[in-house]
Amino acid sequence: MSYAQTAGHRGATAAILVVGGGGLAAATWIGGEHGLALGLVGFYALAGLAAYLWSGRDSDVGAILRAGGDERQRRLDRAATAHAGLAMGAAAILGGIVSAARHHGDIGQYGVICVVGGVAYVVSLATLRRRS
């Protein structure tokens, strides 16, 4: 991979927020919670606008929001993503433990998250080892 900057797309993060938030809002509407759905639309529209405006700035965060940047900025993004993954994994494990204690050993959806995380890690490690 090149050390040089890639331009990225200014709307990259905004698009994820709008599409993901829109999907969540639509599901909430279908579920009958119309007020909450409208609130989610407003929240994700504002978040998408903020991400779009911030991604135009000449800064590390701006470059990461554009899904672009140079080697250092991409490394920052990967490290932050890894930390976020560790936090999510810890939360899923803790949630599974609490759920098992409260629901007669049933870890519920936390189990799915843990399995997806574990399989993704093993597959990633196997793939990345071949390239390094």
Partner 1 sequence: MESTLDSGGGDKHAFHMKNRVSELRTAAGLSQGELGKALGVSRQTINSIENGRYLPSLPLALAIARNFEASVEDIFIPEGD
Under the criterion CB under 8 A, does residue 32 sit at the interface with partner 1?
Answer: no
Number of residues that bind partner 1 (CB under 8 A): 13
The full DSSP string for 30-95 is HTT-HHHHHHHHHHHHHHHHHHHHHTTSSSHHHHHHTT-B-HHHHHHHHHHHHHHHHHHHHHHHHH
| CB 89, min distance to partner 1, A | 21
Please identify, using beta-carbon distances, which residue of 3 and 130 lies nearer to partner 1: 3
Expressed in angstroms, the distance from the first to the final Cα of the chain is 12
| CB 63, min distance to partner 1, A | 7
Among 10, 40, 73, 107, binds partner 1 (CB under 8 A): 73
Under the criterion CB under 8 A, does residue 58 sit at the interface with partner 1?
Answer: yes
Torsion of CA 21, 27, 31, 34, to 10 degrees: 40
13 by Cβ neighbours in 10 Å (0-12 / 13-18 / 19+) ranks as buried
Please identify, using beta-carbon distances, which residue of 5 and 99 lies nearer to partner 1: 5
Kindly indicate which of the ranges 45-53, 55-63, 77-85, 115-123 contains the residues binding partner 1, using the contact rule CB under 8 A.
55-63
| CB 118, min distance to partner 1, A | 23
Binding site for partner 1 (CB under 8 A): 2-5, 58-60, 63, 69-73
